[in-house]
Amino acid sequence: MKALGLMSGTSLDGIDAAIIDTDGERVKSFGPALTVPYADDFRARLRKGDAERELTLLHAEAVKKLLGDYGGAVDVIGFHGHTIEHRPADGVSRQIGDGALLAAETKIPVINDFRSNDLALGGQGAPLAPLFHAALAHDLEKPLCVLNVGGVANVTYLGPGDEIQAFDTGPGNAPLDDWTQQTCGAPMDKDGRLAMAGTADKAACAQLLNHPYFVAPPPKSLDRDDFNISMISGFSAADGAATLTAFVGRAVAWSVKFLPGEPKRWLICGGGRHNPALMDAFRKVLDAPVETVEQVGWSGDSLEAQAFAFLAVRSLKGLPLSLPATTGASKPATGGVLHKV
């Protein structure tokens, strides 16, 4: 079955769209993918959470462009939408995006609302990519970890014998992006240049790590705005970026104590893998080789979009989208809402 996945991540950078051919168990082939960056003014509206119709129509345009470039058809669209609030302790995870409107605009069945059933079963509603990671890594040596560094960072541990565990390790790009916007008027620390020009403050990094989230056992997940970075408000732009970059790395290192075993390899996906300062931070604190997912033939830029294409097919087939060991749901959780044409 050919499926198109759509992802608007917590980094607020744009829409990722990707096509795969899958039966919901394995990926038969990968189709084309694209990224549509958000304009600055729309990004500001999206941050406020009041742009659902505009967001949906932008996704429809992305679908039409990708299908035009592809020159083919797909059977279903997996539409994640954009997370504007994630408070799993209160049973809340809100994604804006109108699935019915997207189906009407594209003339393709759409599945959205991937998280509600998991939350209803006591789960965190996140992360949702681990079953896709497991499908991709079926033939790779294990144990290994897949680390997705978006606005929030999350890890999928894949052990021998199909063992799987997943949770958010802590912040990803979000605090660093917010810091560079605040201090430099730039949406991100491009190529890690700002962090590499500064010096990390060990005391501030330790203070950031003194957050109750880090001692809580998994399953656990975060909202992009869960961390207060006010303690670095007096730092130079470069030193603040260096401190936050070190913080992200150390949060990942701290997460290892919650894994079932020591991974032999870390595969990094998400926008954070483009940041050499972040990649260096991971290599300094992790005891196994750290590589980008491209080293095993995966597409790091489109992996999350591909995951929601995969999950859309699983939803159609009534297969679980999450497991107790990935979100804390009381049992394997199916989910998704189908919007027919």
Model confidence pLDDT, tens digit, residues 235-285: 999 999 999 999 999 999 999 999 999 999 999 999 999 999 999 999 999
Confidence of residue 234 (pLDDT cuts 50, 70, 90): very high
What is the average per-residue pLDDT within 168-195? 96
Residue written as tokens 């749901």? Answer: 329
What is the average per-residue pLDDT within 169-197? 96
Residue range(s) of every CATH 3.30.420.40 domain in the chain: 2-125+303-339, 130-296
What is the average per-residue pLDDT within 110-126? 97
Q: Does 11 have pLDDT greater than 80?
A: no
E strands, 119-190, are 144-149, 152-158, 164-171
The reported pLDDT for the residue numbered 48 is 86
The reported pLDDT for the residue numbered 276 is 98
What is the average per-residue pLDDT within 294-309? 96
E strands, the chain, are 2-8, 14-22, 27-37, 76-87, 92-96, 110-112, 144-149, 152-158, 164-171, 266-269, 290-292, 337-339
Q: Does 117 have pLDDT greater than 90?
A: yes
What is the average per-residue pLDDT within 94-104? 97
What is the average per-residue pLDDT within 27-52? 92
Q: How many CA atoms lie within 13 A of 237 on its CB side?
A: 14
The reported pLDDT for the residue numbered 10 is 78
Q: If you count DSSP H runs as helices and E runs as strands, how many of each does the chain have, helices first? A: 13, 12
* pLDDT tens-digit readout, 213-228: 999 999 999 998 898 8
Considering the domain 130-296, what is its CATH architecture? 2-Layer Sandwich (3.30)
The reported pLDDT for the residue numbered 202 is 96
Confidence of residue 17 (pLDDT cuts 50, 70, 90): very high
Q: What percent of the chain has pLDDT over 90?
A: 92
- How much of the chain is in helix, strand and coil states, percent to nearest 5? 45, 25, 35
| Cα-to-chain-centroid distance, residue 240 | 24
Confidence of residue 85 (pLDDT cuts 50, 70, 90): very high
Q: Does 12 have pLDDT greater than 90?
A: no
The reported pLDDT for the residue numbered 215 is 96
Neighbours of 212 (CB within 10 A): 6
Cα gap 279→293, rounded to integer Å: 12
Fold of domain 2-125+303-339? Nucleotidyltransferase; domain 5 (3.30.420)
Per the prediction, the chain carries an average pLDDT of 96
CB 27 within 8 A of CB 38: no
Q: Which residue from 59, 46, 76 is spatially nearest to 17, judged by alpha carbons?
A: 59
The reported pLDDT for the residue numbered 225 is 87
Q: Does 47 have pLDDT greater than 90?
A: no
